[in-house]
Structure 1
């Protein structure tokens, strides 16, 4: 009878869901143990063997809680969704136009957010990572970019214009208030944030 290979040793897990078990595991292993129950969008907390806690903090969200309670790293690269293009994993709910007469950007939720409209019908965009590029004319392109705060927009010129470009933008707002030019106040909760 041929010899059977010994089962592989189970990999030691250096994370625990709560602080008490994380501290016990840290003492037992001599390693820092991630306390998954204390994870946030901007921080990771570890229990150390000496009983202290150590946190790694980011100034912007670097992960997003999923529906199953698992955290996913942010990924602002755009993917096709039913009503346009959206970042794969983002703390802000934002959708860019797939082209046509609808909103250029939809930001937030149905109860709290806004739609930003462009003055003219938009062409189908070219997608480059986290940016949707709409070629408006031979020398002008609207660039919408997904960011940690939601999005940024810019008008890219490939030739010097004969006059200063002017664009009128429309806002359709629900549950938010514009307090001055380009600053919209809304609560930071599921799919909402502050766009500048």
Structure 2
């Protein structure tokens, strides 16, 4: 969440879950511009003040709803470099290519580019949402002799996210299929493979 919990009664996690789910549903249905806290509150069965206590702005709420913690970098139990990269690409595609992702990401990017403080805050949130575990898994690939040392984690993620976003914009979501995933995975694996 974007704000610290105030002293007093513990926050009800069920409200958080309901609000995040309602946000995903509604942003997919109406888009970012027409999304309101009132509509989210009605669907989630809560109040606008309860939402405002938890998230500083619509951008903060939508960012957390569309990019849940660790969603883009969940490699699961992959045991080799190719499987690891494929899991990351598929996880990113699931988020970026979701109905909520397709409708929210362009608007979020616009807001972030217009507000440097918001950009820094939301980027930091995303980078802290599981990147550490991906770094560990890439280090394990180096130890196994599959990947070269010194792979830039940020560049790795930017390649996956950027390529996925560009493909959805240029090709359309339905054309970003398994063959496309395999092509991107091959390109990334070839780029990070130990020589």
Greater share of strand: 1
TM-score normalised over the length of structure 1: 0.26
Q: Higher relative contact order by CA 8 Å / sep ≥ 6: 1 or 2?
A: 2
Q: Which has the larger radius of gyration?
A: 1
Greater share of helix: 2
TM-score normalised over the length of structure 2: 0.26
